Amino acid sequence: MKRVVPAAGLLFLIAVTACHDRETSLTRPPESTEAMRATSATSAPPPAATAPSAAASTSAEPAGPDGPRTVSLSPSEKVWLEGRAMGTHLGFAGYTQAGLDGPRVRALFAEAIEEIKRVENLMTTWRPDSELSRVNAAAGRDAIKVSQETFDVVKEAVHTSDISEGTFDITFETLHGLWKFDQDLDPHPPSDADIAKLLPFVGYKKIKLDPAVPSIMLQTAGTKMSLGGIAKGYGVDRAVAILDKAGLRSFYVQAGGDLFARGTKPDGKPWSAGVRDPRGPDGSYFALLGLADHAFSTAGDYERSYIVEGKRYHHIIDPRTGKPATASRSVTIWAKTALIADAIDDAVFILGPEKGIKLVESLDGVGAVIIDKNNNVWVSDRIKSELTIVKAPTPGL
């Protein structure tokens, strides 16, 4: 069911078949957000200082206030586009093909960025007139009619809660402001008493869904919900749908730590993503995961965190305790959709390796790489042939 690598040393190497966070701007105003560092080794285009080969020509457009910056290379015909939405970096790359030249692929990427921004605006909680804000404001009183799209994403979130012992729970928003890990960083954990006051209002079973309307109601006044733990994955899936509809066959879409890769590169090799080393230097990775028609999402305790008296506190909160989860350091999920990967990574992180691997292996087309609290690496059966471990994870607190 699993393979474990002790932190003391790398005991095995999984050969590759072919050659490779919960809170976003959905829960705070975009002008106050900081971009999360991308976890994928595929995310960044070649540095600007790198000279192209004699046979290649490059073209670039300057970034606007929200991105995008693009670079297209010939004769390789690889097209890049970068942007920003949902409080994080967006990265696109793909290859031209018959009927889809560089300018057309670039235009498709720009259209996909606008789709991600549309999802952000639909599912945010920082705007008081958004659907979710109205649901939160009516908690304990009224059901609120919402779009079918919002209803379906909330329904998927509730399903994920059902299968994960409630460890993925969009009512974690009830605790918003108690822990401060973002631009309001405050390295002072809340008291147990403060947590205890809010914890009774957390619980996904307080969400009442009526598909006939469709409507959503929070049954307890004081309960709030946010889609910050799932909407970014959904946004990636919507971007992928636009590119699929246009017939693009080889590309990837990345939003922070969420990534989907379609097809293979022109040489037949899969796209490849680096699995972040939680205690290593920024941008370092300990494994490579091949991706073809699959998504990749990582939850880690290293992005938004602080250490007090020898203990690490981070933003992945166990909704059952109201405190940061302690069973894992990092979880990377490989799945058929970015929405599934985005939701499941938090759940597995909180469940820990034994229960997390069991959950992953019960789901069709889902795999996991877990670094547990003791720095051991766990790999689910389904992705052993897709993963290459290049070094042992760095030890540390």
* 43, part of any domain: no
Q: Are residues 211 and 302 in the same domain?
A: no
Helix axes 231-245, 338-351, angle to 10 degrees: 150
Q: Are residues 292 and 185 in the same domain?
A: no
Which letter does DSSP use for residue 238 in this model?
A: H
Q: Are residues 274 and 209 in the same domain?
A: no
The answer to whether the CB of 57 falls within 8 A of the CB of 318 is no
Whole-Å CA distances, 350 to 5, 143, 255, 345, 370:
20, 30, 22, 9, 11
The answer to whether the CB of 274 falls within 8 A of the CB of 287 is yes
Per-residue DSSP letters for 180-194?
--STT----PPPHHH
CATH of the domain at 187: 1.10.3980.10
Which letter does DSSP use for residue 167 in this model?
A: -
**Token code pair at residue 153:** 């994403």
* 139, part of any domain: yes
Strand order of the sheet with strand 271-276? 271-276, 285-291, 387-389
* 232, part of any domain: no
Domain count, the chain: 2
Helix axes 353-361, 338-351, angle to 10 degrees: 150
Sign of the four-CA dihedral 92, 241, 236, 132: positive
* 293, part of any domain: yes
Q: Are residues 213 and 275 in the same domain?
A: no
* 14, part of any domain: yes
Domain hosting 180: range is 131-218
Q: Are residues 396 and 322 in the same domain?
A: yes
Q: What are residue 215's phi and psi, to 5 degrees?
A: -145, 160
Q: Are residues 197 and 281 in the same domain?
A: no
> Residue 76: what pLDDT?
54
> Residue 15: what pLDDT?
25
Q: What are residue 110's phi and psi, to 5 degrees?
A: -65, -40
Q: Are residues 213 and 292 in the same domain?
A: no
The answer to whether the CB of 308 falls within 8 A of the CB of 348 is no
The answer to whether the CB of 348 falls within 8 A of the CB of 328 is yes
The answer to whether the CB of 95 falls within 8 A of the CB of 250 is yes
> Residue 126: what pLDDT?
84
CATH of the domain at 8: 3.10.520.10
* 93, part of any domain: no
**Token code pair at residue 41:** 């080794």
Pairwise CA distance, residues 2 & 113, whole Å: 37
Q: Are residues 382 and 275 in the same domain?
A: yes
Q: Are residues 202 and 321 in the same domain?
A: no
* 241, part of any domain: no
> Residue 177: what pLDDT?
86
* 39, part of any domain: no
The total of other beta-carbon atoms located within 10 Å of residue 294's CB is 26
Binned average pLDDT, 10 residues per bin, the chain of 397 residues: 39 26 47 32 35 29 44 66 95 96 97 97 91 97 98 98 97 90 79 96 98 98 95 97 98 95 94 94 93 95 85 92 96 97 97 98 97 97 94 95
Q: Which residue type, as a one-letter code, is found at position 16?
A: V
